[in-house]
Every structure is written in C-alpha cells, then in structure tokens.
Amino acid sequence: MNLRPKTLSEYIGQEKIKKQLEMFIQSAKKRNSPLDHIIVTGPPGLGKTTLASVIANEMEVDIKITSAPVIEKKGDIAGLLTSLKEGDILFIDEIHRLPPAFEEILYPAMEDFKLDIVIGGGSGKKRHSKAITLTLNRFTLIGATTRIGLLSTPLLSRFGIILNMDYYSVEELSEIVKRSAGILGVDIDDDASVYIAQHSRGTPRIANRLLKRVYDYCVSQGYEKIDVDKVRYAFNILSIKQYGIDDMMLKYLHTLIGRFGGGPVGITTLSLAMNEDRRTIEEVIEPYLMKIGFIKRTKSGRVALEEAYKFLEKGLS
C-alpha cells in the first residue's frame, strides 16, 4: 500500500521547503512556464523522491524517475530528454554519481533546451559523422543528492532552486505515523505513535517501516489497536534499540570504541575493519550518529563522544 503523500497539503514536515515550493509553483503556473531546475539535498529516507512526485502532481505534469548509477551511456540521457513532453519533470536520484561526460550533455539541455548529438559513423577512410542539435520541450530537472559537495560546480550552478531537507522532529514523525496508520486501516494511540517516532532516527522512511512491522505483529496476534506496550514488545522482537540505533550503527560504535579506543580513526580504516562500503558509512551511518551527538568527524579521523560511551555502558545496545 502506497503511503506517500500526493500533494503539498498532505506532505508533513519540511515547512520551509513547502512554503518556498508553493510560491515557485504558483509563479510557474501564472507564467505558463516550467519550474526552474531544482536540486534537493539531504540524508537518505527524508522523502526526496516523494517530494519530486508531489511537485509533479502540483504542476499537473508527468514525471520520469531514474538514478545516476543506472545511466550507463550517453544515449540513455538523450532518450530520457527527448521523451519529455512540455513541462514534464525528469528526476535523477544520486545525481552526484553522474559521470562528468554525462553532465556535459545536460548543460545545453538545462540552459537552452537543446540536445547536441552525433550521428553517422563508419571506420577508416569512409568514416563520416555529423553533429546535429535537437530542440527539446521545456522541462524541469530535479536532482537529488545526499552529498551536494560532490556535485561539480558547472552542474550545481545550473540549478536555480536549492532545497535542503533536514531530519524530521518527533512531533512531525508522529503525525506521519498516524497518517500512515490511517491509510493502513489500523487504530493507533498517541503514545504509540510518539514512541515509534522517537525510534525513527528523524526519517519518515524508517517511521513507516517500523509502523508496518508493528502492524504485522498486531495482526499476527489478533490485536485491533496499536498501543505503546504493543510497540515496545514488537520492538523487542525486532531488536530496535533506543534512539532507533540499528545493528549497522551498533557495529560501527563497537568498532570505533571497542577496537580503536574511540578514535580518532580514519574512514578507510573503519571501512576495512567493518567490512562495509565507505559510502554507506559516510551517507547512511554517520549523519545520524553525528546528529544525536555520538560521534564527530575531525581532521584526524572519527572520534566517539561521551553519549556514545554512555549508550554502550548502560547496556542499551
């Protein structure tokens, strides 16, 4: 069942971004023009793809969704661009992973709605080819990234709108949980929704995932309403720790503190010790641990803070 909101009025949280978008969308509609190109940045799971779909719904246009890692050749981008109708939206997730040669195709497309392609071929003396320019329908490119610092300056400068998504508050996540419970058709009390929110690491995707698992537990046991005691019991079965710390984060903390004495330790050493991809550590594990004051990044490496030691010492892990 799809729990994603479809309009800005249904979208909970990110109030600053919503107010900006309301203004941009109203202006674009009055001008009968596509939105300016948008870059959305923030940690994983905050709803960047959902926000892009909401924008498309508000603009009453179609959206094509892809991600940079699946774009394997220049022709893939050309095919996407030429398939767009007037005003359509092209959403590229993880756009920071787009190769520089592919970025160059986007420059004239974003600025002038033109696509330069080379046709023809052959080999040896009979080799012949020519460059042609295609006119594209006016469109909006929405790029999503967890690491805006990895975007090249030429590409970043072509986005007129930059939206920075931040972690959600417990209150916002509690509202999201209650909304999702309503869609699932299950009754949930306020204490239970707050408890789930407190363990969701500021992330709607995690909040909805935890709600679904608690819902599974209640259905399996024949319970018709979710209360906080049922959530606690389900979390115990699921090994959900305080603050929403999962097994991957726990492994990180045990490695940093238990093996390396709390640091400082470099990211490469941590990655090898954990047998975990560096990108996963930097983009998924560390942002939340920094947010709750468990670690900090220094020039010398990662360092565990007092709260992390307390967490492990209290046996909360």
Spell out the domain ranges in the chain: 15-164, 170-240, 247-313
pLDDT in tens, 48-76: 999 999 999 999 999 999 998 888 887 88
pLDDT in tens, 9-33: 889 989 999 999 999 999 999 999 9
Looking at every residue in the chain, the average pLDDT score rounds to: 87
Mean pLDDT of 270-287: 88
pLDDT in tens, 137-166: 999 999 999 888 888 888 888 999 999 998
Q: Which of 31, 33, 82 is nearest to 61 (CA)?
A: 33
* Per-residue confidence (pLDDT) for residue 127, from 0 to 100: 56
Mean pLDDT of 173-199: 92
Same fold, 15-164 and 170-240: no
Check whether 125 has a pLDDT greater than 70.
Answer: no
Cα separation, 8 vs 58, whole angstroms: 8
Mean pLDDT of 106-110: 88
Mean pLDDT of 266-294: 88
Cα separation, 317 vs 267, whole angstroms: 23
Amino acid identity of residue 163, one-letter, is L
Could you give the residue numbers annotated as active site?
48-49, 93, 146, 205
Q: Would you place residue 194 in the very low, low, confident or very high pLDDT band (cuts 50, 70, 90)?
A: very high
What CA–CA distances, in Å, run from 211 to 131, 247, 265, 283? 54, 18, 36, 24
Q: Would you place residue 317 in the very low, low, confident or very high pLDDT band (cuts 50, 70, 90)?
A: very low
* Per-residue confidence (pLDDT) for residue 3, from 0 to 100: 80
Q: Would you place residue 122 in the very low, low, confident or very high pLDDT band (cuts 50, 70, 90)?
A: low
Fold observed for domain 15-164: Rossmann fold (3.40.50)
* Per-residue confidence (pLDDT) for residue 121, from 0 to 100: 55
Question: 170-240 belongs to which CATH class?
Answer: mainly alpha
What CA–CA distances, in Å, run from 84 to 32, 64, 96, 106, 149? 17, 8, 22, 14, 28
Question: 247-313 belongs to which CATH class?
Answer: mainly alpha
